[in-house]
Amino acid sequence: MKNILNFSLKKSNKLPIIFQNEIAECGHACVVMISNYWGHDLNLSSIRNISRPSIKGINMFDLTHVLQSLNFKTRAIRIDLEDLKFIRCPAILHWNMNHFVVLKEVKKNHVIIHDPAIGIRHCTFSEVSKFFTGIVLEAEKGVNFQKVIANNKLTLLHFMKMIAGINKFIIFLILLSLTIEVLALINPLLLQYVMDNVINTNNLNNLYIIVCAFLIFVLLQSIIEYSRSYSVNYLTTYLTEQFSANLIKHLLKLPLDFFFHRYKGDIQAKFQTIDQVQRKISTEFINTILDGLMVIINLVVMVIYSLKLTLITCCSLLLYLIIRYLSYQSLKNQTENSVVQHAKAASIFLETLQGIMPIKTFAKEHVRFNIWYNNYIQALNADIIISRLNTFYNIINQLLFQIDHIVIICAGIMLTLENRFSTGMLVAFLAYRLLLINKASSFIRYAFDYKLITIQLNRLGDLIFQQPEVVAEGAGRYELMQGRLEIRNINFRYHISDPYILKNISLTVNVGEKIAIIGPSGCGKSTLLKVMMGLLVPEGGEIYLDDINLKHFGLKNYRQLTASVMQEDCLLTGSILENITFFNDEIDINYVYEVAKLACIHEAILKLPMQYETQVGEMGSIFSGGQKQRILLARALYKRPRILFLDEATSHLDARNELAINQSLKALEITQIIIAHRQETIAMADRVVDLSKLNKE
């Protein structure tokens, strides 16, 4: 068995922990871990370009295909638990029937797992027996293996390039800070002068001169420090505004499919990391440069005083650096785990608020609490470990440099007694030594913090490097369009391994025609509507508007002449008037009343205390389902569309209102494409299309 299972692999790198960003991306995260272990420098975005993950998940066959495309030689096998020790690591394990993890190492009493959903796990064999399905995917370098490096990694310099004029501002801050540091370097020299030329000589005139010099330096430092603090605050605010605005603008340009694959809480958590990134740029980035420069200057000055004493301090700093370096990987893993678990807890909390009604009606408050609490505790556990590591660093810092201080004092006194040092020189050297310790410690801390900020940058990069939706204006003029829509040979599926939802679909909707698309649930009606609206990109086929290809007409122009009411639509925080006009600056109030009457909601609005100025609450929480649908319909009609898409737009209405709205819609001379199950709505259509039959053709 051992000979059968063993690959003759040679380890080359450490196995990283990669967390999944999308709902069903565990397999892709495992591929990234395996790839980076063997020398590739890839991230999840790179793997998505090779194989886009499906929201339904990924299977072992797809994982094998992705690894082989990266020139790995793979083998999928089924084994018993006792044979796990013969697997050469790392290998991908099928876990809990719906998940993939990476096996890092098999120990005597436990195994080490890199779980893309949780982090590094130390599982007992009983835990492994509970979750491991017996399927393993091994991978080794193929004959044509060549290292691949991702070119879409986000850095602080990348951020700085995004902000116009930031380089000049940072140079200005560096000059201010450098002036403060230079003034600080003069203080020890003044102390030395006081010790050697005032105290030892009893010369009060020199003392008065030195006191005046001290006061001037303190005043200069205070003025410059105030200017620096004011500039840093301005830069911090400016960076936050610019980064936030640019990221929100970019998010709004992403295709609809992106939001289907992501947890809303995770997107929000990534957005909030902007504060940490801008702080690194506005303060710590500058401090790191200055601290590094001051370390060099201090070392030169201290060597001039005494090479021997300087080497003692350098040994202490080197030992502190080694300790930080050896424990960095643990700190990085726990920091990344903390970030991911806090994001998960935020997602669960947000989801709980959105689903509070069924949670209460099913009396499942305790279930939701336990789900949130377990994730939150995992995040806190990671925070505790991080706190312990930071406490350890502080203790080591104090211990090392206090011992160093004692040794320096003893050695310095010996030099003074040997008349190789004056008292003033010893005091000045101790001051420079303290300055060196502070600057070097800060530089080391900032350097490792900069490495840790790559965790946040990678998460932000997952948003920033997403390709925006192509909404070019094109050559079309929407004001001349009449509204004839045609789709030819449309094919669509969400993932290459999924079956086609739409297969070779062709359909023509004439100007002013009202068609009803029917079919059983799950046959692709809503998907077809989203493809026709340009929200989803088909795998094959073309869409034509008045015989003009949509690609040439331009998606932006197309959306100027379409409107819709979809099942997922909601009202936004604001007044009824703002929602109907979709927050337009210029409002045609008479037309607002007209479309509200067409949607049979005008009379109901007038009965409200604030009428059209009534606030709708979050996502329209103060209205019934039928009232929300009618306001949404009024919003769609207010746009004066040439083509109207309706997906179960009257499903919450009573029979009387539904009949009145259907009659109003039928009287409109616009192209209408509706999805409906109610016979009353279907009967109002000029033509009925059964998608289940169309898909079979």
Nearest Cα residue to 85 out of 60, 112, 67 = 112
Per-residue tokens: 691: 């998608």
CA atoms within 13 A on the CB side of 570: 11
Does the active-site annotation cover 600? no
Per-residue tokens: 219: 């005043």
Q: What is the Cα–Cα distance from 696 to 682, expressed in whole angstroms?
A: 22
CA atoms within 13 A on the CB side of 578: 12
Q: What is the DSSP letter of 419?
A: T
Q: Which residues of 258-272 are buried (b: 16+ CB within 10 A; e: fewer)?
A: beebbbebbbebbbe
Q: What is the Cα–Cα distance from 264 to 116, expressed in whole angstroms?
A: 18
Torsion from C-alpha of 549, 669, 587, 241, nearest 10 degrees: -30
With a CB cutoff of 8 Å and minimum separation 6, the contacts of 258 are 466
Q: What is the Cα–Cα distance from 343 to 29, expressed in whole angstroms?
A: 17
Q: Are 37 and 15 in contact (CB under 8 A)?
A: yes
Q: What is the Cα–Cα distance from 649 to 535, expressed in whole angstroms?
A: 18
Q: Can you give the length of the chain in residues?
A: 697
Per-residue tokens: 514: 């009202």
619 three-class SS: helix
Per-residue tokens: 636: 């769609």
Per DSSP, the residues of 495-559 read STTSPPSEEEEEEEE-TT-EEEEE-STTSSHHHHHHHHHTSS--SEEEEEETTEEHHHH-HHHHH
* CA dist 682 → 117, 644, 656 (Å): 45, 15, 15
* CA dist 126 → 88, 93, 117, 129, 527 (Å): 21, 16, 20, 5, 44
In a 10 Å sphere around its CB, with 0-12 CB exposed, 13-18 middle and 19+ buried, how is residue 581 labelled?
buried
ω into 358 cis (within 30 of 0) = no
Place of tokens 């999805």: 675
Q: What is the Cα–Cα distance from 527 to 142, expressed in whole angstroms?
A: 40
Q: Phi then psi for 76, rounded to 5 degrees?
A: -100, 125
Q: Which of 26, 89, 123, 523 is catalytic?
A: 26
For 253-284, where are the alpha helices, taking DSSP H only?
256-260, 264-272, 274-279
Active-site residues: which are they? 26
